[in-house]
Amino acid sequence: MKRIKSVFIIAMIFVLTTIWGMAQNQEINIEDSAEVFLEEYSDAFQENFFEALKQKGIENYDKAINILLECKLIDSTSHVVDHELAKVYYLEEQYIAAQEYAIAALLSEPTNLWYLDTLVTTIQMQGSSLDQTNLNIPFENNKLKENLALIYFKQKNYQKALTALTDIKKSAFTKDLSAKINDSINKGEVKKSKEEVPVQNEIKTDPIGELKAQMAELIVKNKISELVERSEEAMENYPSQPYFYYINGHALNKSAKYKEAVEVLEAALDYMLDDVPLLNRIYQELVDAHTALNNSSEANRYLRMIKPGF
């Protein structure tokens, strides 16, 4: 059990940042460090696993998949490797393969929030949903249903979130999440009704918001060099905004300028307050940069700082 926890901690850091802000009321007990993983697995498995994560970080997905398959030959029961394969196949847009490995990972650990999220998003990318598929998923597991409700809540799919909570035994968790879902629905209805009434107000500009939107577009279009330039300008104009430091560090990592990325990302930490999702993303970039620089001790240090569930 100790070994499973340790490997899980290593792998979950490289999730899509996909579930930012999720499960804020859940706490995951992290007692074991990455060093335990290194002690308990063979040198070959260690080397291959970390090399696969490195290759995934630099978007060399084919190589990452091949190396992870080598890990499966060493330990065919590793559900953490199954999950990593699911994520890399997802990034490669090979959704059927991603779904198969995501199911294998989830069946090995049905209560794992991250495994379920990967499966849900993979199925959604195929134009379907978990409740429309005939998969051998243990829906009788209350924890799995709670996680599913959290995932739908994060996606703002409030009706599906409520449906997922319907058959779960009432608890403090279900009451709290149901209240949040209903509150979000009510706020959405109020906002919609206000939008239907034309109001002649002065248009207020949001320069920081506009910059963030422009940078998001550059990320989607993979215009990394332009992203480096724009984020540097934003850092000069808004030196106390850690988000722009994060974007610059991300762009530098994509440009294989790992030492520069570390400097910028560490500077971002000086301006952080209570934005835990953004802080996790900064730590994620630091992990990637130090991994690329073969600074395993620093990579593991930042790895342990990431707070799960956000």
> For residues 140 and 192, what is the distance between their CA atoms, to the nearest angstrom?
37
Q: What is the pLDDT of residue 173?
A: 85
Beta strands in 175-304 (DSSP E): none
310 residues of the chain, pLDDT tens digit each: 344 344 444 444 433 333 334 444 443 333 333 444 444 456 788 888 889 999 988 989 999 999 999 998 988 888 999 999 999 999 988 999 999 999 999 999 999 999 999 999 999 998 888 877 778 888 889 899 899 999 999 888 898 888 888 878 888 888 888 888 888 888 766 555 555 555 455 444 678 888 888 888 888 788 899 999 999 998 888 888 888 899 999 999 999 999 999 999 998 888 777 778 888 889 899 999 999 999 999 989 888 888 875 5
- DSSP string computed for 141-170: -HHHHHHHHHHHHHTT-HHHHHHHHHTSPP
Q: What is the pLDDT of residue 190?
A: 58
Q: What is the pLDDT of residue 277?
A: 84
Percent of the chain that is helix, strand, coil (3-state, to 5): 70, 0, 30
Span(s) in the chain for CATH 1.25.40.10: 2-137, 207-305
- For residue 132, count other CB atoms closer than 10 A to its CB: 8
> For residues 43 and 49, what is the distance between their CA atoms, to the nearest angstrom?
10
- The fourth-level CATH superfamily of domain 207-305 is Tetratricopeptide repeat domain (1.25.40.10)
Token pair in block for residue 11: 């792998």
> For residues 239 and 229, what is the distance between their CA atoms, to the nearest angstrom?
15
Q: Name the amino acid, one letter, at 230.
A: R
Token pair in block for residue 162: 């409520």
Q: Domain 2-137 falls in which CATH fold? A: 1.25.40
Q: What is the pTM of this model?
A: 0.51
> For residues 243 and 115, what is the distance between their CA atoms, to the nearest angstrom?
28
Token pair in block for residue 205: 């500009």
